Amino acid sequence: MSRNVIEGSIKPDKLAGIDLQDLAEANAKTIQKQLLRLHTFGQRFPNSGALRRLVSEFHSKLLQQTETPDDLEVQVAIATDISVVSPATFPAVAGILSHLISLAPHDEKQRLWKRVRHKMGPVPYNGYLQIWLQRVTQPKSVGLKFSSNEPICQIVNGESPNLWENGWITSRDLKAAMEVSKIIIRSVSDAEEVIAPEEVELFKQNAWAY
pLDDT tens across 53-93, in order?
899 989 988 988 888 888 999 999 999 999 999 998 998 99
Q: What is the pTM of this model?
A: 0.79
What does the alpha-carbon distance between residue 113 and residue 131 come to, in Å, rounded to a whole number? 14
pLDDT digits (tens, 9 = 90+) for 177-210: 888 887 887 888 888 999 988 888 765 555 444 4
Phi, psi for residue 93 in degrees, rounded to 5: -65, -35
Q: What DSSP element (H or E) covers 146?
A: none
Angle 190-191-196 from CA coordinates, rounded to 5°: 160
DSSP-derived secondary structure letter, 196: P
Rounded CA-CA distance 135/144 in Å is 11
pLDDT of residue 116 exceeding 90:
yes
Alpha helices (H) along the chain: 5-8, 12-19, 31-44, 49-62, 72-85, 90-102, 106-120, 127-137, 151-156, 172-177
Residue 8: its pLDDT value, please?
56
Quote the CA–CA distance of 151 and 178 in Å, as a whole number.
14
Residue 29 · residue 65 · CB < 8 Å: no
Q: Evaluate whether 107 touches 166 at the Cβ level (below 8 Å).
A: no
